[in-house]
Amino acid sequence: MKNFVLLVVFFLAFLATQSQEKSSISGNLIDQQTSQPVANAEIILIEDSIITTSDDNGYFVFKNLPKGYYSIRIRHIAYHDVVKKIKLNTGENIDLKFTLTGKSLQLEEFIVESESETDQIISKLPYIETSIVKREMDKNASRDVGDFLRSSNNIGGIRKGGTQLDPVVRGFKYSQLNIQMNNGQKIEGGCPNRMDPATAHVEIEDIEKIEVYKGPYALRYGQSFGGVINLKTVRPEPSDSFQIHINALKGYESNWNGNKEQLAVQGESKKVFFNLSGGRKDYGNYKDGNSNEVKTSFKKYNYKGQLGFVPHKNHSIIMTYEESNGRDVSFPTLPMDERKDDTRLISLDYNAGDITGLINSFNLKLYNSDVRHEMDTKERPFSDTTVAVSIINALNQGGRLEAGIPLSKGLLYAGVDFEQIKKDGERTKTMIKQPGLPVKREQLWNNAEINNFGVFAEYSITLGKFELVAASRLDFNKGISDSILVMHPMQGEIFHYSTDSIQSEYINFSISAGANQKITQNLTLSLSLGRGVRSPDMTERYIILLPIGYDKFDYLGDPQLKPETNNQADLTVKFTSHKIGLLQVNGFYSLVNDYITGKRLPPSIQKPLTQDVLGVKQFYNAGNARFRGFELTYSTPLHLKFGIKLYSSYTCATLDKVHKYILNDQGSVVDDVELENDALTEIPPFESKIVVHYRFFKGKFIPQLSYRIVAAQNHVSEASYEQETPGFSVIGFSFTYLFNKYFTVSGGVDNIFDKAYYEHLNRNIIGSNGNLYEPGRVFFVNLFFKI
Amino acid sequence: MKKLIFVAFVLLVIFACDEENSPVKVQYRVSDAYAETHISYQNESGSLESETINFQSAEDTWNYSFEAKHGDIVYISAQYADTASSVNISILLDGKVYKEKYSESEPGKIITVSGTIPF
C-alpha cells in the first residue's frame, strides 16, 4: 500500500509538470580564429544530462524545456570547454552564441568527457584513478557502497550478508585500503568480523562521487597502502540567487522485496546554504538462482543536516551532522547478526581558494565519527541455550589541513592530518537454560587507542612532454590499550597482557613518484613507483581470541608487529582517439614486505576461547607477499549513439612462505609444513565485462545490456584450505529514461536468466561449507524526482 | 509553497508508514502447585527477581505480565520442596503459550523455561 501511495504521488507530480508551458534554448558555435561554424560539438544540459550535437552550421537546439536555471557545457575534441549558466522563463526561447577557442589535442578533454559519462576515467594521474559519478549509481539497483563498487574494474567485495560488503581493490583489503569520506573523514567499524566496514556507514544514495586511487601513490589522503577510496557525499553550494532544490527517490527491487526512499532539500544563496536529507531502506531475504531463500534481510535509515556560510569571497564553511542507523541486518556467514548500529558523523569544513598570490587553496577539516555497534546471536539456532550480545563503541576523530601552493610552474599540496581511533567493547553471554541466568562477560577491546599524526606533500608539474607527480608522507603512530585479561570458566586465566606490553609505536615513511609521457598525440605512457607503509590496525594489534579470519582459528593480536610495506610499480598505456575512443591498459607489480597474517600458536602456549575452532593464530609478519596483475578498459567515443565499454582485470597474489597445518579426520591439527609461493586468500579471479548501450532521443532514453564473465578461481590458498570457485557469466539489462527536467526513471533486470552462482569472495554459510549465493533474478526500478 | 507542500507530503509518506517494532505482551504463569514454591524470573528491566508463593490449591495461579521487545530474553524458574507438590510454569507471548514445562515429584529441582522473543 505504501508503495502504491508513493507511486501515485510521483505520477500526480509528473502530470502537474507536464501542463507547464515549454521553452527552448538554441545556439550557434563559432571558431574564434576562423569564424567558421563548429560542427559535431557536444552540448550538454548539465542538470538534466541531456546531450545534443551541433550540426554542420554549428547550430543546436533544446526544445520543450521547463522554466528554470540551466548550465550548458560545450565540448569538442579540438576546443576548450565552455560552460554557461542561464535562466529560462516560461515560454521563452533563448538563442545563444558561443565562440570556441581551439587547443592542441590533450588528454584532459577525455577526462572531462569520461567523468560524466563513464565510471572508468582515463586519469591524467600516472596511476589508475577510477571515478564513479552519481548517475552511474542511479542506473543500478544500488543498495550498498561495497556492493556497487564491485561493478568497477578490479574491485571486488567480501560478501557476508545481503549488504555491507567489504571492498577489495586488486586483492588488497581491510586496513590495506584507506577508506574515507569527503577528503579525510575516517570511520572505524565496530564489528571485529568487519560486518560493518567504513563503507557500510555511508548510504549510497547520499554519495555524489566515488574516487578510487589504486596503489600506494595518493599520499595526500592519509596512509596509502593498496589504495584510497574517497566517498564524496552530496554537499550544498552557494549560489548567486536564492534557490531551493528538492530531490526525491523511490526505489523497488523484486526478489527480496526491497524498498528504499530518499529525500533531500537543498537551499542556496550567496551567503548561506543548507542541505537536509533523509532516507530509509527495508529489504527482506533474497532467493538465489536455485530459489533457495538466503537470510539476508536488513533495515536502514539515515538523516543528515548541513549548513554552510560564505564569510568572504572564495571562503566557505560547512558544518555537517548525520546519522545512519542499521537494524536487524542478517549475516548468514558470521556467528552474529547486526541488531543495531547507530553511527553519528560530525564534520566541519573550511575551504578557501585564491587567498593570496602565494596560496591557491586552503582546506581544513575536523571530524568525529562515532559508531555504536550491537550484534547478537538471538536469531541463531543455539539461542535457546546461550544468547551472546556484543556491544562495541568505535570512535574515530581527527582532522586534516592542506594548502595548495603554486611553486615553480608546478603545484604543491602540503599539509598535516591527525587521526585518533578508540575502541572498547565486550561480549555478554547469557546461559538462558541454566537456573539464575548466569552471565559471562568477555572483553573484545579494552579502551584500545591508536593515534596517527601525518605530514604530507605532493608536487605536480608539467615539463615538456612529461607530467610529473611526486608525493611523500611521514606518519607517527602510537597504540595503547588497557590491560587485557581473558578468563575461562573451566581453565582459569587463558590470556593476559599487562599495560607495559601492549604499547606500540611506529614512524613510517611513504613516498611515490610518477610520470606521464606523451609518446604521440594519442598515446601516453605512464609509470608510477611507490612505497606505502601502514601501521598494524586495531584488530591486528589488540584483538583477543575471536574467530575473525578466513579460516577456523581464534585470532590474537600482537602489539609488537612491524608495519607492512607495499613497494609497487604501475605501468599504464593510454590511447585516446576521437574516432576510436579510449583504451587504457595497466600492469602492476607489488612486493609487500612484512605481510601481516596469522600463525598458529601451540595449545601449550595459547588455548582458544571459542568452541569448535582449530586453535589459536596470532598475527605476525610473514615475510614477502607479491601482487601482480593487469587491468584493461576500453570505451567508445562519447559522441556515438551506440556505445561499448569493456573491462577486464586479473590479479595474482602469493605469499613467499607460509605454514600449512595438517588436520586429521577429527579436524585437529597434527602437523605443519612450510609452503612456498602459496596463493593469498580472497583474491578475485580473472573477469571481463562488456556493456553496450544506445542513446535514443538525444540521450533521453538509454537502454544498456551488460555481460559479465568471471573465470573459475583455481589459484587458491592451500595453507588456508581455501575452496576453488567455479566460473560463471551473468547478463543484466538496465535503462534510464529522462521524462523531463523533473522526472527520471531507471530500471532493469539483474541476473536475467536467474543463474545460481557465487563470487569467490563470498564467505561460506556459518557452520557448514555451504556457499553464500548471489541473488537470483532481480527486477528493479528507481523513480527520481527533482525540482 | 508548492515545494514545501511536496516535501511535507513525501516526508509523511516515507516516514509515517514506517512499521514500528511493536511490543510483545509477555506473561509468566505458574500453576498446578499445591505448596510453597520459589519463583525467579527476569522482569521488564532485565533484572532477576525472586518470590516465594504459597499456593493453597491447584486452582491458584501466579501471573506476571509486562511488555517487551522482539529479541528480549524471557526467563522463569520454579522450585518446590514438598514431595507431594507439582508445578507448571509457562511463558505466554501475546496470549499464546511460547514455552511451558511441568514438574511433578521433583522436590528441590529448579525447573526453568526460557528463550528469546522471536523476531
Q: Which residue has the cell 573451566?
A: A490
Contacts of A710 (CB under 8 A, 6+ apart): A685, A686, A687, A727, A728, A729, A759
Whether the pLDDT of residue A51 is over 80: the answer is no
Q: Which residues of B60-78 are buried (b: 16+ CB within 10 A; e: fewer)?
A: eebebebebebbbbbbbbb
CA distance B118 to chain A (A): 8
Which CA distances in Å does A515 have to A216, A462, A467, A524, A675?
15, 9, 5, 10, 38
Q: pLDDT value at position A339?
A: 95
Nearest CA in chain B to A243: B3
Q: Quick one: how far is CA A44 from the chain centroid?
A: 28
Chain B residues with CB inside 8 Å of A277's CB? none
**Rounded distance between C-alpha atoms, residue A339 and residue A373, angstroms:** 8
Q: pLDDT value at position B18?
A: 52
CA distance A681 to chain B (A): 35
Long-range contacts of B104-109 (CB under 8 A, 24+ apart): B107/B80, B107/B81, B107/B82, B107/B83, B108/B79, B108/B81, B109/B79
Q: Which of A318, A400, A311 is nearest to A362 (CA)?
A: A400
Nearest CA in chain B to A786: B3
Q: pLDDT value at position A117?
A: 40
* Residue A724: exposure state from Cβ atoms within 10 A (0-12, 13-18, ≥19): exposed
Whether the pLDDT of residue B32 is over 80: the answer is yes
**Rounded distance between C-alpha atoms, residue A542 and residue A560, angstroms:** 10
Q: Is the dihedral of CA A248, A252, A253, A256 positive or negative?
A: positive
Judge: B116–A378 Cβ closer than 8 Å, yes or no. yes
Q: Which residue has the cell 589541513?
A: A401
Chain A residues with CB inside 8 Å of B116's CB? 378, 383-384, 387, 432
Judge: A437–B48 Cβ closer than 8 Å, yes or no. yes
A573 or A463: which leads in pLDDT: A573
Judge: A376–B71 Cβ closer than 8 Å, yes or no. yes
Judge: B112–A280 Cβ closer than 8 Å, yes or no. no
Contacts of A459 (CB under 8 A, 6+ apart): A407, A410, A411, A412, A413, A469, A470, A471
Identify residue A545 by its one-letter amino acid code. L
pLDDT single digits (tens) A578-594? 788 889 999 999 999 99
Q: pLDDT value at position A333?
A: 94
Chain A residues with CB inside 8 Å of B119's CB? 328, 378-379
Q: pLDDT value at position A108?
A: 32
Judge: B73–A387 Cβ closer than 8 Å, yes or no. yes
Whether the pLDDT of residue A357 is over 90: the answer is no
- Residue spans of the domains in chain A: they are 2-103, 114-213, 214-786
Chain A residues with CB inside 8 Å of B71's CB? 339, 376, 378-379
Whether the pLDDT of residue A45 is over 90: the answer is no
Judge: B112–A433 Cβ closer than 8 Å, yes or no. yes
Whether the pLDDT of residue A53 is over 70: the answer is yes
First to last CA, chain B: 43
CA distance A492 to chain B (A): 27
Please identify among residues 81-100 of chain B the ones whose CB lies closer than 8 Å to any CB of chain A.
none
What's the mean per-residue pLDDT of chain A?
Answer: 88
- What interhelical angle do A2-18 and B2-16 show, nearest 10? 160
Judge: A435–B10 Cβ closer than 8 Å, yes or no. no
**Rounded distance between C-alpha atoms, residue B24 and residue B105, angstroms:** 34
Judge: A9–B9 Cβ closer than 8 Å, yes or no. yes
A495 or A359: which leads in pLDDT: A359
CA distance B84 to chain A (A): 22
Judge: B6–A13 Cβ closer than 8 Å, yes or no. yes
pLDDT single digits (tens) A440-461? 888 888 889 999 999 999 999 9
- Residue spans of the domains in chain B: they are 22-116
Which CA distances in Å does A715 have to A116, A520, A596, A730?
37, 39, 20, 22
**Rounded distance between C-alpha atoms, residue A69 and residue A164, angstroms:** 38
Whether the pLDDT of residue A261 is over 90: the answer is yes
Contacts of A551 (CB under 8 A, 6+ apart): A598, A614, A617, A720, A721
A627 or A462: which leads in pLDDT: A627
* DSSP one-letter string for A193-234: T-SS-GGGGS-GGGEEEEEEEESS--GGGS--SSEEEEEEEP
Bridge partners of residue A732, in order along the sequence: A706
Strand boundaries in A408-465, DSSP class E: 410-431, 439-463
Nearest CA in chain A to B99: A384
- Provide the pairing of β-strand A50-53 with A59-65: unpaired
Q: pLDDT value at position A522?
A: 86
Q: Which of A117-126, B6-15, B55-64 has the lowest mean pLDDT?
A: A117-126
Q: pLDDT value at position A266?
A: 93
Q: All 3 cell numbers of residue B72?
A: 528480549
Judge: A9–B13 Cβ closer than 8 Å, yes or no. yes
Q: pLDDT value at position A489?
A: 59
Judge: B40–A436 Cβ closer than 8 Å, yes or no. yes
Whether the pLDDT of residue A103 is over 70: the answer is no
**Rounded distance between C-alpha atoms, residue B35 and residue A397, angstroms:** 61
Q: Are A279 and A259 in contact (CB under 8 A)?
A: no
Question: A437, A742, A783: which to substitute to probe chain B, counting the most B Cβ within 10 Å?
Answer: A437
Whether the pLDDT of residue A783 is over 90: the answer is yes
Q: pLDDT value at position A500?
A: 66
A615 or A484: which leads in pLDDT: A615
Residue B102 contacts A where some CB pair is shorter than 8 Å: no
Write phi, then psi, for A630 (nearest 5 degrees).
-145, 160
Q: All 3 cell numbers of residue A278?
A: 533523509
Is the pTM above the cut of 0.90?
no
Q: pLDDT value at position A84?
A: 81
Facing A378 at nearest CB: one of B3, B14, B71: B71
A270 or A121: which leads in pLDDT: A270
- Output the 3-class SS for A113-127: HHHHHCCCCCCCCCC
- Output the 3-class SS for B42-84: ECCCCCEEEEEEECCCCCCCEEEEEEECCCCEEEEEEEECCCC
**Rounded distance between C-alpha atoms, residue A683 and residue A661, angstroms:** 21
Q: pLDDT value at position A492?
A: 66
Facing B71 at nearest CB: one of A6, A339, A432: A339
- Output the 3-class SS for A682-717: CCCCCEEEEEEEECEHHHCEEEEEEEEEECCECCCC
Q: All 3 cell numbers of residue B20?
A: 514500528
Chain A residues with CB inside 8 Å of B18's CB? 280, 301
- Its CATH class, for the domain covering B22-116, is mainly beta
* Residue A579: exposure state from Cβ atoms within 10 A (0-12, 13-18, ≥19): exposed
CATH of A2-103, picked from 2.60.40.1120, 1.10.300.10, 3.30.70.260, 2.60.40.10, is 2.60.40.1120
Please identify among residues 10-29 of chain B the ones whose CB lies closer than 8 Å to any CB of chain A.
10-11, 13-15, 17-18
Q: Are A414 and A457 in contact (CB under 8 A)?
A: yes
Taking only Cα atoms into account, the Rg of chain B, rounded to an integer number of angstroms, comes to 21
Residue B43 contacts A where some CB pair is shorter than 8 Å: no
Whether the pLDDT of residue A9 is over 80: the answer is no
Q: All 3 cell numbers of residue B81?
A: 520442596
Residue B92's pLDDT band (boundaries 50, 70, 90)? very high
Facing B75 at nearest CB: one of A2, A263, A437: A437
Interface A–B counts its CB contacts (< 8 A) at 68
Range A528-551 average pLDDT:
91
Judge: B6–A278 Cβ closer than 8 Å, yes or no. no
**Rounded distance between C-alpha atoms, residue A677 and residue A679, angstroms:** 6
Range A238-266 average pLDDT:
93
Long-range contacts of A464-469 (CB under 8 A, 24+ apart): A465/A517, A465/A518, A466/A515, A466/A516, A466/A517, A467/A124, A467/A126, A467/A515, A467/A516, A468/A410, A468/A513, A468/A514, A468/A515, A469/A125, A469/A126, A469/A217, A469/A512, A469/A513, A469/A514, A469/A515
**Rounded distance between C-alpha atoms, residue A117 and residue A42, angstroms:** 12
Q: pLDDT value at position A490?
A: 63
CA distance A733 to chain B (A): 28
Q: Quick one: how far is CA B77 from the chain centroid?
A: 12
Q: Which of A19-33, A206-220, A632-646, A740-754 has the lowest mean pLDDT?
A: A19-33
Whether the pLDDT of residue A346 is over 70: the answer is yes
- Provide the pairing of β-strand A258-268 with A293-294: unpaired
% of chain A exceeding 70 in pLDDT? 91
Q: Are A169 and A212 in contact (CB under 8 A)?
A: yes
Q: pLDDT value at position A115?
A: 36
Q: Which of A64-73, A167-176, A597-606, A669-678 has the lowest mean pLDDT?
A: A64-73
Judge: A246–B14 Cβ closer than 8 Å, yes or no. no
Residue A666's pLDDT band (boundaries 50, 70, 90)? confident
3-state secondary structure of A604: coil
Strand arrangement, sheet containing A177-181: A129-133, A207-214, A227-233, A177-181
Nearest CA in chain A to B9: A9
**A214-786 is classed in which CATH architecture?**
Beta Barrel (2.40)
Task: For chain A, list residues whose CB is within 8 angstroms of any CB belonging to chain B.
Answer: 2, 5-6, 9, 13, 244, 246, 248, 261, 263, 265, 278-280, 301, 328, 339, 376, 378-379, 383-384, 387, 430, 432-437, 787
CA distance B19 to chain A (A): 10
pLDDT single digits (tens) B40-82? 999 998 888 999 999 888 788 999 999 999 889 999 999 999 8
Q: pLDDT value at position A22?
A: 66
Range A592-613 average pLDDT:
87
Nearest CA in chain B to A6: B13
Neighbours of A473 (CB within 10 A): 25
A66 or B17: which leads in pLDDT: A66
CATH superfamily of A114-213: TonB-dependent receptor, plug domain (2.170.130.10)
